[in-house]
Amino acid sequence: MNISLRPESIITYFHTHGNIIECKEFGSGHINDTYKVVADDGHVYVLQRINKNVFNDTIAVMENVSAVTDFLRKTLKCPRETLHFLRTDENLRYYIDENEDCWRCYEFTDGICLEAPETDEDFYESAIAFGRFQEMLSTFPADSLHETIPLFHNTPNRYRMFKEAVQKDAVGRVATVEEEIRFLLDREKEAGLICDALESGELPLRVTHNDTKINNVLLDCKTRKALCVLDLDTVMPGSSLYDYGDSIRFGAATAAEDEKDLSKVTMSLNLFRVYTAGYLKACSTLTEKEIQMLPVGAKMMTLEVAVRFLTDYLEGDHYFKVAYPEHNLDRARTQIKLVADMEQKWDEMNRIVAEEAAKR
């Protein structure tokens, strides 16, 4: 790598305190490159290179992120409850390097970031964080945000791309995953449930986070209460069902997203209830229709990401970061298993939502 493009060099363009003594890879995101940067006076920062293959307009991403964090800062009592981006000499909150890569830097907040909830309370707190995030942004002008990834949670469009990938079979993997392809195609008729309801006005358009995995929440080290929501790159207009659903598919699963032993992968009805209770508490503005469709959100987000993982596998793994050749396939399989499990538990999921909604 060209020395001037190393994170150690890039950090010097931002207005940090102290002298930088350490810069290490950090985090578990599938998209951006993230580094933790430590200064000799104790200041700590997070430096990130935004993935420009995923986000074609990285400046639009930073405009969205800046607008949302500025808005939240005005509402919040405690500054630790949102991200603080540093400025450069040009007074911008990003730096474009000679490769046209966009970098940003924010103050590191000490907190707990989990790959899976360790207790029910952890998961409940993540529901509070995302529910509150959405509630606070209910007065934010949604149409002022850029659509940084067009059709991001448009499941029918994800299916279109999937079928194209099957047809092209660019890396000759189709024959090995026919069962998985069949499972997903059998459910294509359900793909438009959320989009159609948004279009007809049955569901309201909201400002949503769109990537609500529990590892995008920071919990306070001492109290273990929800502190802050991270990874705002995909904040866009959308449906509350996207945010609720993505949290369930990731956090209510009993195994990791890339678990190979599928017998370990189920959706915990207990965790489903815990998250539902927290989300309904924190987000009091949900409509009856949104509440009624929460289980659809959970299933649709799981189905959609299964389609996305398998598409990437069939296209040769150019989107999600992979650690080994079958990584995207393993991820697709866990999501398929979760969809099947949700179908088994469908009536109970609906009952739990109704019971938790009645407690409000």
Residues that bind Mg ion (CB under 5 A): 29, 216, 231
Separation of alpha carbons 287 and 345, rounded Å: 24
Nearer to Mg ion among residue 216 and residue 276 (C-beta): 216
229 near ligand GN1 (CB under 6 A) = no
CA count, 13 A, side-chain hemisphere, 156: 7
CA 97 – CA 46 distance, rounded (Å): 17
By the rule CB under 6 A, 31 interacts with ligand GN1? yes
Q: Would you say 127 or 277 has its CB closer to ligand GN1?
A: 127
The residue from 7, 10, 23, 30 that contacts ligand GN1 (CB under 6 A) is 30
DSSP 299-342: HHHHHHHHHHHHHHHHHTS-SS--SSTTHHHHHHHHHHHHHHHH
DSSP assignments along 52-121, one per residue: TTT-S-HHHHHHHHHHHHHHHHHH-SSGGGS--BPPBTTS-S-EE-TTS-EEEEEE----B--SS-SSHH
Residue 54 binds which one of ligand GN1, Mg ion, none, with CB within 5 to 8 A depending on kind? ligand GN1
Name the token pair of 273.
Answer: 């209830």
Q: How far is the CB of 20 from ligand GN1 (least distance, A)?
A: 25
Give 143-147 contacts, CB < 8 A, sequence gap 24+. 143/237, 144/67, 145/64, 145/67, 145/68, 145/207, 145/235, 145/236, 145/237, 146/57, 146/60, 146/61, 146/63, 146/64, 146/236, 147/236, 147/237
Query: Site for ligand GN1 (CB under 6 A): how many residues?
Result: 11
Burial of 4 (0-12, 13-18, 19+ CB in 10 A): exposed
Pairing of strands 102-107, 206-208: unpaired
**300 vs 352 by CB, closer to ligand GN1:** 300
Distance CA 272, CA 292 (A): 15
211 binds ligand GN1 (CB under 6 A): yes
31 vs 62 by CB, closer to ligand GN1: 31
CB of 115 to Mg ion, least distance (A): 11
CB 311 within 8 A of CB 180: no
Position 305 contacts ligand GN1 (CB under 6 A): yes
Considering the complex, state which of residue 187 and residue 213 has its C-beta at the smaller distance from ligand GN1. 213
Query: Judged by CB under 6 A, does residue 209 bind ligand GN1?
Result: no
263: CB partners within 8 A, 6+ apart: none
**Residue 52, token pair as written in the block:** 């420009």
To ligand GN1, the closest distance from the beta carbon of 319 in angstroms equals 7
- Determine, following the binding rule CB under 6 A, whether residue 330 of this chain makes contact with ligand GN1: no
257 binds, among Mg ion, ligand GN1, none (CB under 5 to 8 A by kind): ligand GN1
Residue 295 binds ligand GN1 (CB under 6 A): no
Q: Which of 7, 29, 131, 297 binds ligand GN1 (CB under 6 A)?
A: 29
The window from 69-77, 78-86, 209-217, 286-294 that contacts ligand GN1 (CB under 6 A) reads 209-217
Q: Is 257 in the site for ligand GN1 (CB under 6 A)?
A: yes
Identify the residue among 122, 231, 330, 341 touching ligand GN1 (CB under 6 A). 231
Is 234 a residue that touches ligand GN1 (CB under 6 A)? yes
User: Is the distance from CB of 23 to CB of 35 less than 8 angstroms?
Assistant: yes
In whole angstroms, how close is the CB of 32 to Mg ion at the nearest point?
Answer: 8
Q: At how many degrees (to 10) do helices 294-315 and 269-282 cross?
A: 110
Binding segment for ligand GN1 (CB under 6 A), chosen from 14-22, 29-37, 70-78, 217-225, is: 29-37
Nearer CB in complex with ligand GN1: 257/317: 257
Q: Which is nearer to Mg ion, 31 or 195 (CB)?
A: 31
User: Looking at beta carbons only, is 82 or 216 nearer to ligand GN1?
Assistant: 216
Q: Report the interface residues with ligand GN1, using CB under 6 A.
A: 29-31, 54, 211, 213, 216, 231, 234, 257, 305
